[in-house]
Structures are given as structure tokens and as C-alpha cells.
Copies of this chain bind each other. A is one copy, B any other.
Amino acid sequence: MPDLRKDPIVGRWVIIATDRAKRPHDYQRPPAPQAVSGFCPFCPGNESHTPPEILAFREPGTAANQTGWRVRVIPNKFPALQIEGDLEKRGDGIFDLMNGVGAHEVIIESPAHESSMARLPVDAIREVLWMYRDRLSDLQRDKRFVHGLAFKNSGPAAGASLEHCHSQLIVVPIVPITIAEELRGSLEFYKYRDRCIFCDMLRQEVDQRERVVLETEEFVAFCPFASRFPYETWIVPKRHSSHFETTSRESLAAMAGVLQGVLRKLERALDNPPYNYMLHTAPFGSADLPHYHWHLEIIPRVTGIAGFEWGSGFYINSVLPEQAGAILRDTVVELGAGLPTRGSDC
């Protein structure tokens, strides 16, 4: 079983997953983009080549692990964490560790062998968001777990190892440090001003407009004031809410349109960049938090990070967020239906 180990200085946790271990010389270079093979385990008809499904949205009358699904969730075949076992926290002198209990699931976003979520019809994206909601709602009933992160790696340079478009969900037994820092910072602001800092930020973005990429009745997409990366874009609900999984299905349908729009704008403006997105939501089990606000962060992976960023936590961004906002805002894209597929045959 993997170990979870805590850095004693800053409190950052690390998953030591040695089932994935390699010999030293296997690490000569960052993994090369994986060649597209003829066989895709995520395509319909190949369900038996994946672990049995956890949940799928299916056509009426179709059976589990058969064709007929629209969105399908399976356990990750090479999980970073293991779902079975009790949580055992222990010490080793000055150090803290626990066994690596958690969930690591893969959400296959479409039966079509399409590499880009941006090209899916809005209804398919809506069902992916619904699936995040359903899986987070289910997994939080497990009292061992305290937080779930849904995320996407799109393109080999962003960490995707299979082309067929998919996202992942990792549920962990401790609050991740990134979320803990957002909670701490937003609580400090709330104590001082009695307002949600995300709500304040949204008001200013909507007023100033210069960094806004897309705005609808319920959502705003914008390039944040202190964007770490060129064309970084956040999607934030206008109505205050700390827990993504409490969002109504109607609101998620609205969000799907915004997500599709932003991804299509990024794809067109940056010529199909590799990117990651991460769904930041409050830890499980708490009531709605007045200071925290769930949101989706999208980071195109068009520049690398190096020693300065690793050593300081500073980022160097060479594109003004106002310029990125204007370019994305002015990029015209079709919305709604699916686009001609770009996946390879399989």
C-alpha cells in the first residue's frame, strides 16, 4: 500500500506510491508523449479491458461494463492511492505518515474516441460535470475521506497518458495544502471584512470587465489578476457556494456551456494547447462555508517552470492578464453542438 508522508516543515503531504517504481535509468527524461496506438481501452466495446465500472450514465436497457454508456467511471488501473483498508496514522521520530488510503477514479467523458473535451457537445460536458457531482457526493459518505479533487490532464505535455478524453478524481484522507491555503486565506479575509473574498473578486472582475472571458447569468470566466500562467482562466459561480457537489443540475448545465466556451476559445486562440483544469471545492462534511467559494482553474501548459518557481513559489507570467482576457473574450467560437472529431480511429 502507498504511504502518505508529511513534510514536517511546511506540512505538505506526499504520496509515496512505489508500485509505480522504476529503476534509476528508467528516469532519464520526462515521459515522452505516448504514441497513439491502434487500441484504446476507453472506447466502447473494450469495457472488459478496464477495471469494472463504478458508475456510468447509460442508455436505457444497457448493462454495466457493456456498450451503451455516455459517461463511464472506472477505478484507475494504476492508482496513486488504495480504496481498501483502515486509515492508520503513525509517527517515525519527528515524521508523520499514514497509509495511502483513498480513491483514484477515471471519468471517461465520451464514447467517441475524441481527444479534446472542447469538441464534445455541451450535453456531454454537462454529464461529465454531473458525474463529478455524483461521485463526490457518493465518496464523501466514506468517513475516512475528507476531500476530493476532480481534474483533467489534456494532452501529453499536460500529463495525459491516453488520448481518449477523460478526467480523474482523487479523494484523500487529509485536506490538500493548496485547498488548506485557500481556506486559510479566505477565512482571514472573512474575519476582517465579513465577506467572501471570491465574491468580492467577482464583483470587481465584472465591474472592470477587462479580464472577463465569458459571462452568463450564473457564471463568470476570467483571467485572474495574479495569473500564474499565460491565459490562465478561472470559472466561478456568481452565487456564493463552497461545495461544488451541492450545485443544482440546472446550474451545472449552465456551467457546461461556459466550460465549453472557454475551452474552445483556448483551443482556437492558442492552437490546441495542452492544459490542466482543477476543480477546487471545500472539504467534505462541512456545512456551506461563508468564506470559501468553489471554482474551476484552467491552466494552459504553454510555458515551463524552473528553479525560480520551485524555490520561491513566485511565478513569472509574460502575458498581461488583461491582454489574455481581451484575446480570449474576442475569440469567436461556435457553441453547443459537438465539433468534427479529431481523435484517431481505433
Contacts and interface: CB of A to CB of B under 8 A. Distances in A.
Contact of A312 (B153, B178, B197, B273): B178
Interface string A279-317: 110000000000000000101111111111011111111
A43 interface: no
Given A30-B301, A323-B21, A308 B230 contact: no
A50 to B, nearest CB: 20
A261 interface: no
A303 B30 contact: yes
Contact of A14 (B25, B197, B228, B304): B228
Interface stretch (A5-13, A128-136, A213-221, A338-346): A5-13
Contacts of A311: 149, 151, 176, 178, 276, 278-280, 297
Contacts of A7: 224-226
A205 B13 CA distance: 19
Nearest to A13: B314
Contact of A80 (B227, B272, B303, B308): B308
Nearest to A24: B269
Chain A interface residue number, banded:
35 or more
Interface of chain A: mostly helix, strand, loop or mixed: mixed
A157 interface: yes
A41 interface: no
B319 A18 contact: yes
A60 interface: no
A168 B316 CA distance: 15
Contacts of A299: 310
Interface of A: 5-22, 24-25, 27-31, 80, 92-95, 149, 151-153, 157-160, 168, 170, 172, 176-179, 181-182, 184-186, 189, 197-198, 200-201, 204, 208, 224-228, 230-231, 269-274, 276-280, 297, 299-308, 310-321, 323, 327
The 3 closest A-B pairs by CB, nearest first: A159-B306, A278-B311, A151-B307
21 contacts: A8-B225, A8-B226, A9-B186, A10-B182, A12-B226, A14-B226, A14-B314, A14-B316, A18-B318, A27-B230, A30-B302, A93-B204, A94-B204, A152-B307, A168-B307, A176-B311, A177-B312, A178-B310, A178-B311, A276-B306, A278-B307
